[in-house]
Each structure stands twice: as structure tokens, then as C-alpha cells.
A = this chain, B = another copy of it.
């Protein structure tokens, strides 16, 4: 007999079937033993009756959880009262005719019938093969498969060609650290694992591939972060020739609209096509370049209204006064307000001023500094209503934005304004091409391969900090989901762009000589983007932990606890590649 899956039994009522899978639960009622039998398709109930077959009953009584069994039996309808509405196979069960043990199991170190989030992650990762048997994780694996397949089919139907780009290559300009792979054949030299297929996808455009895509493995040696998987991750990567901004944006918008329901049919896209927000507006209105616009609560600039209009020195001496009207929050408790104040201080603010809006004016908090006329002006300027609370931050513009942006997100949570079933996408446009980096030096704001607005002319004649980039981010519900740009395909403009941040021509040619040369042979205008697959999966599946999007993730410290990687190697393996451990180097072995 051909083995079938549990859920396929629904089509086999009255027939004899063969099942192979795991013991998920056992209920021993003496004469009758019930087994919750589990396979990849789900759970089905097996009934073993000592009256029917004493031998099977003996075997069933000996079973342990997670043992591997084979069941031959007849699919029967359950009686009305025995129906289990919580189980897809709840209307049927298997009357066991033959029960065979295929393999035993030691006792699992943790229960498998929870969602696992209550457990120590290290233990889960060490026994990942058990952890993955949970319905939640099996569902993630199935969803990731279904979603990437839907993406690939969409791409194909829309004229994109998947090309696999090299995994042993040279450095790319993504700004993270490279993973090195020492060469054995050419000792003393190293391959680099690609941070992204950036250069290759641009080379593919020069090769005449009209529209490229790839579910591309990317490698970045960064210190672990909560929202990024350590080491390796995947992105939905595209590039197209002869792009316009509308074609570039349209590809992402249509892709997402046409595919997300495969795994998240209950969610709704709030606005289509996706709204476009200028970077500066995003910072000023939401205090973030990845604003969550599922709710309003926009930051307001009240500098002109308040500054030097009262005796309140903190406000008078500040560069900017910004505020946020929290609707119907006048009744916030002292504890709630203190919590928000602490959050503001965490983000670098000196404090968080507040006041309540009443029928007659402002009350409590900073209201005492404002005369009735000023109070009315503030209410009018901010469109605040009686019963609202207003929060103020007076500081430098960037800091005020950042702090109030953070308070805004917290209010969004507090007021339940962040509905996970609403998908609010935004394009952020008009990023600065250059910025001052943490070391106080002029540096690229984003991807150095983007085209600066105004091209060579702008690079030669404008203040670098004034130049905008043809660079775009796509955000979803407050997360950066994708990044893209129209590229710089002019070799001399590329050299110039690097020169401005201090790279000489020779350095550019040494690092990106292949691409620089290629630009001389009929390079078409081109552009593209990359969507973080993991982050999209997290948001579509409401999974807070990015590691659970991977079947076998590294832990938050970049270690594979199941396979014990990374680990020391034999000296012979190092000899093969002409390397040795640096003596006296701090030994950080796990």
C-alpha cells in the first residue's frame, strides 16, 4: 500500500490507508488507546481497541512521545459528539488494524505543543530538529517556501530573469565588513563572500539582461543585531535597464500586492500605489526615515508660536520646539507620563514637557509658563482638542525629531494604533547623497553607486551636503523593508563621487575596476532595489524573532549551537591555505 499523509485521509473515508509519522500525544483509556498521530500535513487521531487486536494494543501501550510509527487502518467518520472542531481532520479518525514501531525517541528536553517562545532560545537552537516540529515553525518554513515561489513566478511573468551571481568573489561597497575565504590554490589571496550582488547585477545590465532578479544570499560580518540574522541572509534582489522611477517603484508595488496574500491573506495594503514621502518630511513629521504611518500623531513645529513668547527659558533658548498632540490622553497617569519622560531621556532629550488641553485652555505641566492668549495660540496652531495631551521637546531639530518620533511610536502602541493587519508601505525619497559620518567626516549617505541628482555638474559645483541622491527606501509599518536607486552608470561621475569623500582614482579602480571598465562599453542607464526577505517574512507572519524565519539560524552571538560552528580547525587545514593564527591575539574562542 502507498503511504499517504494525515490530511489526505479526508478523501479516503471508508478506505484502508497506510500512515507513517510521529506520536504527538497518547491518551490511554485502558481498553481504548487514542494516539494523536502527526506528520508534515498535520494531526489525525488513531484509535486502538484491545478488543479488535490485543497485539496492537500492547504495542500502543508501550509507545513514547515522538516515537516514529506506521499505522495501517480504516478511515472512519467520528460520532457527532466526538468531532474535534479544532482539528482539520477532526471529523474522522483511523481505526488501527496494524501498528508498527519504526523508531524510538528519547524524551524531548522541552514540550513541543507550545509555540516555544517561553523557552530559553539556546536550548531550542541546540535541539532545533525538535523545535522545528512545532506547528508555528513548520508553518514558517511552509510559508517561506510558498512565498519565495510566488515571488519567482511573479518575476518570471513580469519579464525578470533569475541569474545566480558568484558566491566566491571580491569586495562590494555595502559598508559592512567582508567575510574572507582564503584561497588554497593561490595562497596569500582571499575570496570575499558577497555582501550583496550589487556589482554583478549592474554588470548584468551592461550584459544586456533587461530585468534581473535573484533571491540572493548575502553575507555581512556585522556585530549581531536584534532585527538582522548574523552572518548570512537573503534578499529579493532586482535590477532593470532603462528604468524610470515609476517603473522601479511599480515593480515593487505590484510584486508585493500580487504575492503577499499567499501567506497573509488576512492583511490589507492601506494605500496603493505606495505613498512617496520626502526624507525631510519623514524626519519632520514622524521623526524617522522609516515612519510608521498607520496612524497620524504627526510632529508639529511650534517654534514660531512659543519661542520667546513666555518666560520659560528652556523653550526660549532652544533651536526648535516641536510637539505631539496625543488625542484623548489628558487622563494619563503620572506613572505613564514618567515612563514617556524616561524614554525621551534614553534617546538624548533633556526632558519631555507636557500639558493637558481643557475646555478653557491648557492645564498642568508647562501650562503655567504660558499666558491664556499663548495657550489659545498653541491650541489653535496644533489643532489640539479638549481632553488631549500635548508633549513638547525643545532642542536641536534633529534631536527633537528623533525623540518625539520615538515617543510617537510608543504612543502608537499605547493607544493601539498599530494594527498588524494593516500594511502601510511608504517610499522615502530625496535622501542626501553625502552626510557627515560618526567620525565627523564627509561620507556617502547610502549606496555610493547611486546617481547623484544633477550628476557630474552637481558634484563639481554644489555643496556636497546639499546634493540629493536617486536613492529610495521602501518602508513597511515602521521598518526599512527595501532599498534601491537609479545607479550612476557614468565612469567619470563615479570616480568624482568617490573623490569627494577622499578616495583617489587609483583606489576606486583597484576596488571597482571591473565595473569601471564595463561602464565604457555601452552601459545602459539602470537601477534596482533589494527587499529584505527575512524582514518581509517577519512582518507578514507577525513573527517578532528574525531567527525563527530561518530553519537553522545562528544564535544572537553568531554561533550555531547545533552544529558547533564556528569551531577550531586542524593546523593542516591552515597550512593548506598558508595561514597561521596570530600569536598573542586575544583568544575569543567560544
Q: Which residues of A contact B (CB under 8 A)?
A: 3, 5, 20-22, 38-41, 66-68, 102-106, 108, 127-130, 132-133, 138, 141-142, 144-146, 148-149, 152-153, 156, 159, 161-170, 177-193, 199-200, 203-204, 206-211, 217, 219, 221, 223-224, 231-232, 234, 241-242, 489, 513-514, 518, 520-525, 550-552, 554, 557-560, 562-569, 573-582, 585-590
Contacts and interface: CB of A to CB of B under 8 A. Distances in A.
A128 B203 contact: yes
Given A145-B162, A148-B162, 16 more contacts: A20-B524, A40-B208, A66-B521, A129-B207, A132-B209, A141-B163, A142-B161, A153-B153, A168-B560, A169-B563, A177-B184, A185-B558, A186-B558, A189-B568, A189-B590, A190-B568
Given A40-B210, A181-B193, A521 B108 contact: yes
Contacts of A152: 149, 152
B187 A161 contact: no
A190 B67 contact: no
A170 B563 contact: yes
A190 to B, nearest CB: 5
Contacts of A66: 521-522
Nearest to A18: B242
A3 B242 contact: yes
Nearest to A564: B170
A207 B128 contact: yes
B106 A520 contact: yes
B208 A132 contact: yes
9 contacts: A20-B242, A68-B523, A102-B524, A148-B162, A170-B563, A181-B566, A184-B221, A188-B589, A191-B565
Given A170-B565, A563-B514, A521 B105 contact: yes
A107 to B, nearest CB: 9
B573 A178 contact: yes
Nearest to A162: B145
A152 B150 CA distance: 10
A354 to B, nearest CB: 43
B167 A219 contact: yes
Specify how many copies of this chain sit in the oligomer: 2
Most-contacted residue by chain B among A127, A208, A523, A586 (CB, 10 A)? A208
Contacts of A208: 21-22, 38-40, 132-133, 138
Contact of A203 (B41, B552, B575): B552
Contact of A161 (B145, B180, B186): B145
A128 B165 CA distance: 13
The 7 closest A-B pairs by CB, nearest first: A105-B522, A40-B210, A132-B207, A189-B566, A578-B585, A183-B566, A170-B565
A247 to B, nearest CB: 9
A103 B145 contact: no
A550 B207 CA distance: 13
A580 B578 contact: no
A209 B139 CA distance: 11
A576 B177 contact: yes
A590 B522 contact: no
A170 B217 CA distance: 18
Contacts of A189: 566-568, 589-590
Contacts of A20: 241-242, 524
Contacts of A489: 103
A112 to B, nearest CB: 10
B186 A590 contact: yes
A2 B223 CA distance: 45
Contact of A579 (B523, B567, B580): B580
A63 to B, nearest CB: 11
Contact of A133 (B183, B190, B207, B562): B207
Nearest to A567: B189
A210 B129 contact: no
Contact of A522 (B68, B141, B187, B514): B68
A161 B190 CA distance: 35
A144 B165 CA distance: 13
Contact of A149 (B153, B192, B554, B579): B153
A439 to B, nearest CB: 16
A440 to B, nearest CB: 21
Contacts of A513: 564
A188 B587 contact: yes
A567 B177 CA distance: 16
B133 A5 contact: no
Contacts of A184: 177, 221
A240 to B, nearest CB: 10
B577 A168 contact: no
A568 B188 contact: yes
Most buried by B among A40, A129, A183: A129
Contacts of A130: 207, 521
A149 B132 contact: no
A148 to B, nearest CB: 7
Given A185-B557, A200-B552, A522-B22, A567 B170 contact: yes
Contact of A518 (B129, B520, B522): B129
A207 B137 CA distance: 10
Residue among A199, A217, A563 having the largest count of chain B Cβ atoms under 10 Å: A563
A164 B581 contact: no
Nearest to A234: B164
B581 A188 contact: yes
